[in-house]
Structure 1
Amino acid sequence: MALSDLSTPELGLGPVPKATLRAHIAERLRAAILAGDIAPGAPLTETALSSRFNVSRGPLREAMRQLIEEGLLVTVPYTGTHVAALSVEDVREIYSLRTALEIFAFEQVWEHRDDRFSRELHRRNAALLASIDAGDDRTSISTELELHGLVFEASGHKLLQRAWHGLRGRLQLYWAAHHRAHGMRGPRRDSHDSYIKAALGSDLDALRLEIADHMRRGAVVTEKFVSGESRKGNTT
């Protein structure tokens, strides 16, 4: 076969789609942020990153835009782009909004839950447990978010889904930092047992209380971590 024939669609050896390159860059940058290689609050420049990842600035710019949408990066006018950093007040706002959004999402799907919803919730919890048992912290963070994300997906409410998507990135960032600081490898294995029971039960008021309590526990843990980081920053 001639070299010119290698790019035929049937072989799948044509040019790599630009979107694929952007996704690879986004994944590498996301991994570096969640691993702590790039610290919260650190400034990012296209020139430095394109050199570090050995990529052109075009797809890098698109990848950074994607991470801005995910909440891992923020852009401040006249200051530039940097890794998201949260204050205690930010944590309180995020968790209070999470509580309201997740309760609202369940209110939208409550009468429409079926066997598929139940099976998928159990499947996602099993994936979370497997990542915890494997000591895979990064995967445990993403699978925990997938578990909570099911009700948003099932709601079919696009604005609600966008709001949830905007919170996910910052939750990933601070869960990863908190776990590293305390040598954790994900949440406790039983941390979602009561949540799943309530989510599949028949008492919507009980679910509302469970979500509020579940989120409160998460907020307390994250607040303590962020407060500790702030104090350390003030003494250096």
Structure 2
Amino acid sequence: MHFPDGHGAEMNTFRAMQPVGDATRRRQTADQLTELIVTGELAAGTKLTETGLASALQISRGPLREAIRELVEAGLLVSQPYKGLFVRSASPRDLQEIYSLRTTLEQFAFKECWAKRTPAALDDLRGRELSLRQAVDDGIAPTAAIARELHLHSWCYELSGHALLLQSWERMKSNLHFYFSLHQQAHGRRGPRREAHDKYIELACGDDLQAMLSHLEEHMQQGLKTTLTFAEEG
């Protein structure tokens, strides 16, 4: 069979491509819903329906349900029996508990990892902070900025070598993702301030563990009051 110039190569390219399957549509749908929640376009407490979402996103029920299940497991959506599906909301107590537990866990992580900070490990930490700065400078999607901020804070847990501590951190990530989304909305930003982690990195690479532990208390407290006020007003 003869194709016009260039058409044969195009057909070969098409053959190499795989059809967009339900898994891809689920991923795209989950990412889009996450973005809408993180940016506040879907406000905390908003009730959602499968029919409405399927129509708005032009997606079939199968991959939509998988995407919803993923976001429920991530803590961004809440499915209440006999009531429906809602964008997660948080009480002041919820936010205070996230703050206090996160502070305690991260202080413990630094105690555990302090003696394990090799030059290579510190270079890794600086690289994660640089990646976050680049995200802020480039104005990338809020969800991507949150992922990079979580990756930065994961460093001390990973380096600690404490398996149960790392498991606790992984389980807490969904709560932190939600907290960071509220934090960004409260401050009207797409991500953290560019210089937000300067002191954190300086002390993490320094010699004074007690100064690091004290800064963690202060670092975690930053923005909590504004976020609490935002959540209460919302």
Q: TM-score, normalised by structure 1?
A: 0.81
Matches within 5 A, 1:106-145: 106-136=110-140, 138=142, 139-145=144-150
From 205, 212, 218, the equivalent of 2:223 is 218
Give the distance between the partners of 1:167 and 1:153, measured in 2 at CA: 19
Q: Is the 8 A contact 1:71 1:168 kept in 2?
A: no
From 113, 134, 154, the equivalent of 1:149 is 154
From the superposition, tell whether residues 49 and 35 of structure 1 become closer, same or farther in structure 2 (CA, over 3 Å). Answer: same
Matches within 5 A, 1:161-180: 161-180=169-188
Give the distance between the partners of 1:172 and 1:111, measured in 2 at CA: 30
Q: Is the 8 A contact 1:71 1:84 kept in 2?
A: yes
Matches within 5 A, 1:6-155: 11=16, 13-136=17-140, 138=142, 139-155=144-160
Give yes or no for the alignment of 1:202 onto 2:207.
Answer: yes
Residue identity matched to 1:187? P
Give the distance between the partners of 1:91 and 1:203, measured in 2 at CA: 29
From the superposition, tell whether residues 186 and 100 of structure 1 become closer, same or farther in structure 2 (CA, over 3 Å). Answer: same
Give the distance between the partners of 1:152 and 1:17, measured in 2 at CA: 36
From the superposition, tell whether residues 216 and 60 of structure 1 become closer, same or farther in structure 2 (CA, over 3 Å). Answer: same
Gapped regions of structure 1 (runs ≥ 5): 231-236
Matched position secondary structure for 1:198: helix
Residue identity matched to 1:46? E
Residue identity matched to 1:172? F
Q: Which stretch of structure 1 is more off in the superposition, 197-206 or 97-106?
A: 197-206
Q: TM-score, normalised by structure 2?
A: 0.81
Return the offset for 1:52: 1.0
Gapped regions of structure 2 (runs ≥ 5): 1-7
Return the offset for 1:54: 0.9
RMSD value, Cα: 2.7
Return the offset for 1:155: 4.1
Q: Is the 8 A contact 2:22 2:62 kept in 1?
A: no
Residue 190 of structure 1 is matched in structure 2 by 195
Matched position secondary structure for 2:43: coil
Return the offset for 1:21: 2.4
Residue identity matched to 1:115? P
Q: How many residues align?
A: 222
Identical-residue share of aligned pairs (%): 39
